[in-house]
Amino acid sequence: MPEMKADPCLKEAITLFLQELADVRLASIHTVAAYRRDLSQFMDQCGESTALSAITRTQIQDWLVSSHASGLAVSTLARRLSAVSSFFDAAVNAEWCKTNIAAGVRPPKQPKRLPRTLPPEQTSVLMGKTDRSSELRDLALLAVMYGCGLRVSEVVGLDLVDVDLHQFELRVFGKGRKERIVPLPEGAVQYVQGYLAERMSGDEEQALFLNNRGKRLSVRSVQRMLKERALQTGADVSVTPHRLRHSFATDLLAGGVDLRAIQELLGHASLATTERYTHLDIAKLTEVYDQTHPRAKKN
């Protein structure tokens, strides 16, 4: 951090912190903009001319409480607290203040949300025939994404060499470039074979799925394709790549597949992440029980 007198005012310190974030840490413009917004809100709460040593932990807590009372989402509060904590960490390292008063402050707990899934019949509708010029590619992509439970970033990141149609396998690079091998369903293999027979040969483009210019397909293009396809086929327009991934997991769980096997297929680092699907499956079972069991509605 740049040299500055000890115990500067809040505005000076935040200005230099944002400069370091952009010029030294090389944070993206979006990250810097987000930090600037959050720290500006904090400065409004405490006063821009307030010395760092005069700011208290209680002020941070009061700021979060008032932000929560104004209707801000818990995720927004957590992001704001993270920005303030990062700022005070940097201030301590620069010897502008002695301690990070934001350390240990906790935002309100985020409610646990169950993953949203797409019913199997909706997936079938989504795979219905359309007159799209990219029909073969779209069907192959959908079959791979749903059939293997891939993240959208993983499916667009697939290269030709990652696909083994003889062994019915895919090599996938997940978060942190962690590699895993996943089985490729027979139906997906057929769709991929049909697509590859017609796939344009990009000059040196090794991506499996190409756009109409012969370049690697983007995440945004896949998201847009799903929405357009849902409109054309009459499928649920709230479909997203991640909902297809959730559907893959819950369908496997409902079919009796072991939770650790599902963890491996999804590329989850922690089993706790995969265990969300057990809650969803129990919720489904409860709904079916309430609707069909003869004693469900009896006291």
Q: Which residues are catalytic?
A: 151, 175, 242, 245, 268, 277
The continuous run of DSSP H or E covering 13 comes out as helix 10-23
Rounded to a whole number of angstroms, the distance between the first and last alpha carbons of the chain is 68
Chain-centre distance for alpha carbon 254 = 24
The secondary structure of 81-103 as a DSSP string is HHHHHHHHHHHHHTTSSSS-TTT
C-alpha distances (whole Å) from 155 to each of 163, 207, 288 are 11, 10, 34
| Residue 23 CB coordination number (10 Å) | 11
247: left (phi over 0), alpha (psi -120 to 50) or beta: alpha
Asked if 61 and 105 touch (Cβ cutoff 8 Å), the reply is yes
Asked if 222 and 126 touch (Cβ cutoff 8 Å), the reply is no
- The span from the CA of 183 to the CA of 149, in Å, is 10
